[in-house]
Amino acid sequence: MLEPPRRRVLSTRVLGTVAFLILAVAVVFAVRGSLHSPGVRPRQPVVIEQEAPGENGTARAERLAAVDSSEKTAWVDEIPSLDMNMLTPTRREVFLRFANAQSCTCGCGFTLAACRRYDTECEVSLPRLERLRDSVSAGLLTQANGLRERPVLQR
């Protein structure tokens, strides 16, 4: 005997519904993956640091390692490649206290000011020092309470 046609129709409907749901879920994931959420930014391209002309990364590291460790935190008054002429004496002192207290984040172990003194090719210290100078110049940083004081010269 033959199966009743009703059973075949029911299983076909269930199978069709399941297939439709799978297809709908796949479409939702495809559409969601192609749209950017407002809070998520696309990845930035990787920037590869260029070495200083005539100096490879190892030579630079060796040169910086040869600097006496006491110089890593030595007080620096004049910072190469940085114009501080727009700062009043008071603001210059605030700037120098920050620059001589904050560590450079390039991995050298120097303060920002000392890094610039011993490594004028550092791609981290100059932009940070420029932002710091601009903040002090604009009056956004007016005090250096709790930061390193200028050393007193021994006579």
Beta bridge partners of 103: 111
- Give the span between the Cα atoms of 111 and 97, in whole angstroms: 11
Binned at pLDDT 50, 70 and 90, residue 140 comes out as: very high
- Give the span between the Cα atoms of 29 and 27, in whole angstroms: 5
Predicted local distance difference test score (pLDDT) of residue 31? 63
- Give the span between the Cα atoms of 81 and 53, in whole angstroms: 18
CB 143 within 8 A of CB 98: no
The residue assigned the tokens 């114009």 is 83
What percent of the chain is predicted at pLDDT more than 90?
Answer: 34
